[in-house]
Amino acid sequence: MKGTLIDLLTDPRLADLRKLDLRHNDLTDAEFAACGLLARSPRLRRLSLEGNRITSETVGRIVTTPNAGQLVELDLSDNDLRGDWCNLLSDSPMTSLWRLNLARCRLTAGDIERLAASPILRTVRTLNLEGNPIGNTGVRALARSPHLQRLQELKIQRCAIGREGIRELSQAPFARHLSSYDVLSNDFETEWLLQVGSELFGWDERELGSIESRIDMDRMFREMRSTSANKVQIP
C-alpha cells in the first residue's frame, strides 16, 4: 500500500493538483522528500499531513520551497515538530496562507515566539495550536505579534494557559476582529471565568448555564473587545 501511495505522489499528472489530503498515511521525512511533492505540484493550494511521521525536517522543506507561496491551507497536526523549522520562517515564501493547523505538535513557547515573529502570519485567518504546552509565554508572543492583523479564529485549548494568558489575549490588537476563540481546558478555573463575566458584564449563572458546562468564550471576548476602550481589567 505504501509503495502504491509513493507511486501516486510521483505521478506527473499531479502537476495540476489543487488539494491533497494525506492524513494518517504513516509518511516519513524520507518518503516525503523522495516524492518531491511541492516541486511536482506548483498549483497545490491545500495540503493536509495530519497524523503522519514527519518531523521538523519536512516542515523546513515545505516552508522554504518556492511553490509554498501558493498554499492557502496547511495542516501539520499530530506530528512531532520539535526542532528548528521555526527559524526558517523569516525567509519563507509563504505569503498566501489562510489556515494553519499545528495542533498537538509538541511545540514549545520558544517555537511560538519564533512563529509569532514570522511574516507568514500576515495572511492567516485561522490558527490552531491546540494541545501544545505553550503556556502564558507563548500566548503573550501571539498577543503581541505584529503579524496577526487578519486573524479571525484562534484555537488554543489545552495549552497550559493561565489567567495571565487570558489577560494578554483580551488586550491583543487582533482581539477586536476575532470571531472565534477556543481557550477552554487550560490552567484557569471555571469559577474564575464566571467571576469575570459577573464583575465585568453583569452576567449570572443562568446566562452561562451550569458551572460545569462550556462557557461561552466567544461572547466573553466580544464583550471584552466592546469595552476595551474603557481599559477593562480582568481580575
| CATH number of the CATH domain containing 109 | 3.80.10.10
Question: Among 18-32, 179-193, 200-214, whose mean pLDDT is lowest?
Answer: 200-214
**Cα–chain center distance at 16:** 28
In 117-130, which positions are buried (b, 16+ CB within 10 angstroms) versus exposed (e)?
bbebbbbbebbbbb
| Number of independent structural domains in the chain | 1
Domain that residue 51 falls in: 2-230
Is pTM beyond 0.85 here? no
Overall average pLDDT of the 2-23 stretch: 82
Overall average pLDDT of the 75-81 stretch: 97
What's the alpha-carbon Rg for the chain, to the nearest Å? 20
pLDDT tens for each residue of 139-148 = 999 999 999 9
Q: Kindly state whether residue 204 falls inside one of the protein's structural domains.
A: yes
Q: Kindly state whether residue 235 falls inside one of the protein's structural domains.
A: no
Q: Kindly state whether residue 45 falls inside one of the protein's structural domains.
A: yes
Q: Are 6 and 33 in contact (CB under 8 A)?
A: no
pLDDT tens for each residue of 109-166 = 999 999 999 999 999 999 999 999 999 999 999 999 999 999 999 999 889 988 888 8
Cell of 16: 495540476
Q: Inform me whether the pLDDT recorded for 196 exceeds 90.
A: no
Q: Inform me whether the pLDDT recorded for 59 exceeds 70.
A: yes
